[in-house]
Every structure is written in C-alpha cells, then in structure tokens.
Amino acid sequence: MSWELVSNDEVLRQALGELAKHEEIAVDTEFMRRNTFFPQVALLQIGNADKAWLIDPLTISDLGPLRDFFANPSQLKVLHSCSEDLEVFRHWLGVLPAPLTDTQRVAALVGEGYGVGYRTLVERALGVSLDKGETRSNWLARPLSESQCHYAAQDVIHLLPVWTWLSQKGGGDDRRAWFLEEGERAAAELSQRELDGFRRVKGSGKLNQRQLLVLRSLYEWREQRAQRLDKPRGWVLEDRACVAIAAAMPKNIEKLAKLEVLPESVVRKQGSAILSHVETAQTASDEELPEPGLPPLAPAERALLKSLKSELRTLCEQLNIAPELAMANSDLERLLRTEGQGVKGEPTERWEGWRRDAVVEPLRQFLARARA
C-alpha cells in the first residue's frame, strides 16, 4: 500500500493535480470531537486504488485549491458512511464534495444489508482484513506515527475497489442512478437534521404547541450559543433540561431553579436569557405555534401500519434492498396518515426520486386496496 503525507501548500497543489486525472476518487477524514461543537479536522485522505494522499490540515494555509477540487462536477467522490465527514467539510472548507456516493448506502441498495461497516465490506469484497489498531487514536497529535498513516491510508486505498464491486452487484445504469441520488440525499439530510432537530429531542412528543414553541426557541438558542462557544450542546443546556423547562414554563428565576435540571451557575448566568424564551412563547399568537405532535394511531390503523411494514419488506426483498433505507418508520406512518379515504397527501422530498416508483407508489396502492 502506497501513501504520501502532504504537509504544505505546494505539495498539496501537486497532489491535487495528480488526483484530478481520475474520474473517481476515494475520500475520508479523521477528526476529533470530544469537547467541541464543531468537528476538529485532523487529516484528509484522498486516494485511488493505488495510492493515498494524506493531507495534513494543520499545516495547509491555502484552502482554495481544496474547495475547487471538491466542487469539480466531473469527478465522483466516493465516501463511506459520510454524514460526519460532510459536517467536517462544511465547517472546515465551506463546501461539500459533489457529486458523491456513499458505499454504506450503496451496500443497502444491492443486498449487502443496512449500516454495514467499511471493514466488513472490504472483507466481503476483497477478502482483506483491516487493522483496527488506531481506531481511538489522537489524530490531532503531531507528528503522526507510521501506524496512524497506514491506518488512515487503508480507509481510502480499498474504497474504490469496494465501490466497483458494489456497482457490479447493482447491475445496470438505473441502479447506479440510485447510488448517485443517495449521495445527494446524504448532503440534503445534513441541513434537514438541523431544521427540525427540536422534534427529535426525547420527550418532545408529550408537549403541547405552546410548550413546543418554548422547546424550539430554547433549542435554537442553545444551538447558536454552542456554536459561538464551540462547546457541545449539553455543556450549554441538556436535552432533558430543555424539555423540563418547556413543560413547566417557569415565570421567574425561583421557579426555574426549583426544576432542579440546571446547575446553579447556569441559573445565575443564563437564567434571564432562558426565561425570555419562555415569556416570548407565552405571548406568541396561535399562528406562531409549531404544528402539534401527531396523536396516537387508532388500533385499526396500528394494525394497518404493521401490514404496511410487512408489505415494505416484501417489496424490498424483490428489489434486493434494505427496507430501513427505502423508507423510515416515521415516513411509513406519515404515508398511512396522509393516504386516507383515497386522498393523497402532499409528497415529501424524501419520497421522490427512485423511491417514488419503486416503493411509495406500490405502498399507496397497497393502502388503497387494504382500505377498499
């Protein structure tokens, strides 16, 4: 296995020039995220099937060539389980690799299972067992050891052969279009997770609309403060504290403190700011309130949802894809709720593309028959 450590701007330009000759490249990152909000990029790996270039971001001063390189529309970027890597790229470079494909998602589209790890895929596709020795390494420490460099290089050197193996299992161009679409979806989900993140906080489903407005306001305030301080969200305000405050809607510092979900120092320093969000929600008009959480399904609808899940599994077995990737449980429930009495609900972007004809429309037809 051949690799080269890139530690200055001139060598970087030479490496990118060499890599630009390839139609497809493998990409990975090493980063640390222990006591910070943003991932701290520690290494960027780019490679083909013959060589890996290990780019040291701590010694690169001109990021312009990297931004241009990853924005090149004529070169496919191949990553594995890319969601956290995309966060790194957005914060560090301000751009996302495009076009891209994610071999973990591709594996789910060719019968290799959902959420399959890189090492498992390498072993299946190439019969190679990868070393795990540097999994918990301190990637920000310098100098990087020979063992670290070898470990980082193997994360891209085998990726293109794995991608080729998966592509061949997928068959023709139609399924390859699905692979590329999933790459676009991975990038879109990065922003979507932030827009409705407050609804995924444990306990949010028990709140009424006005309480939900408090939770959303606190969530956004916490997000902004955590980013400004570059500290984990929980260091600013834990999820359970956000929900408890939203549920109680305290009117003064004394009642806030009695909830016993905040350290005294937070109550003292940030209590007024927290209470301002509660007060704003209390005086907001009904039009400003977020949509309420959905009520529980009736027993007959729960039984139909179970049948719908079974139908999805059958469809996916025929397509040789993982049902978890095809449609999330939350989307199945939404489909069930919006397809009543033969009236179609508004489609979501998650239901478009290959899913529309392969999965969503057959499920709609199944629901229509089941309710006839």
CA distance 337 to 330: 11
Which residue reads 């409705």 in tokens? 196
CA distance 244 to 238: 10
Split at pLDDT 50, 70, 90, the class of 346 is: low
CA angle in degrees (0–180, nearest 5) for 214-215-220:
100
Q: Which of 73-77, 265-269, 344-348 is predicted with the least confidence, judged by mean pLDDT?
A: 344-348
How confident is the model at residue 233, as a pLDDT?
95
Strand partners, 29: 44
Q: What is the DSSP string of 48-90?
A: -SSEEEEE-TTS----HHHHHHHT-TTSEEEESS-HHHHHHHH
Give the H/E segment covering residue 255: helix 253-258
Beta strand 2-6 pairing with 24-32: unpaired
Helices (H), the chain: 9-19, 64-70, 83-92, 103-108, 118-126, 146-157, 159-170, 173-195, 209-229, 233-236, 239-248, 253-258, 264-283, 299-319, 323-326, 329-338, 354-355, 361-371
Which residues, including other chains, have CB under 8 Å from residue 174's CB and lie 6 or more apart?
A: none
CA dist 24 to 107, 109, 329, Å? 18, 20, 34
- Mean pLDDT for the stretch of residues 63-72: 97
- Mean pLDDT for the stretch of residues 147-158: 95
CA distance 64 to 37: 24
Handedness of CA 76, 81, 86, 92 (dihedral sign): negative
- Mean pLDDT for the stretch of residues 242-253: 97
Give the H/E segment covering residue 166: helix 159-170
How confident is the model at residue 301, as a pLDDT?
94
CA distance 301 to 268: 48
CA distance 207 to 216: 11
| Mean predicted lDDT score pLDDT of the chain | 93
CB-based contact 250:278 (threshold 8 Å): yes
Q: Which amino acid is at 127?
A: G
How confident is the model at residue 347, as a pLDDT?
61
How confident is the model at residue 133, as a pLDDT?
75
CA distance 82 to 73: 18
CB-based contact 367:339 (threshold 8 Å): yes
How confident is the model at residue 345, as a pLDDT?
55
Split at pLDDT 50, 70, 90, the class of 193 is: confident
Structure confidence by residue, pLDDT tens digits, 197-243: 899 899 998 999 999 999 999 999 999 999 999 999 999 999 999 99
Q: Please count the other Cβ atoms lying within 10 Å of the Cβ belonging to residue 125.
A: 20
Q: What percent of the chain has pLDDT over 90?
A: 85
The answer, yes or no, to whether residue 18 has pLDDT greater than 90, is yes
How confident is the model at residue 340, as a pLDDT?
65
Token pair listed for 163: 């991608």
Phi, psi of 229, rounded to the nearest 5 degrees: -85, -15
Structure confidence by residue, pLDDT tens digits, 271-288: 999 999 999 999 999 999
The answer, yes or no, to whether residue 171 has pLDDT greater than 80, is no
- Mean pLDDT for the stretch of residues 173-184: 91
More confident: 193 or 370: 370
Phi, psi of 234, rounded to the nearest 5 degrees: -65, -20
Which residue reads 């083909």 in tokens? 48
The answer, yes or no, to whether residue 318 has pLDDT greater than 90, is yes
Q: Which amino acid is at 310?
A: S
Token pair listed for 128: 């190679």
How confident is the model at residue 191, as a pLDDT?
76
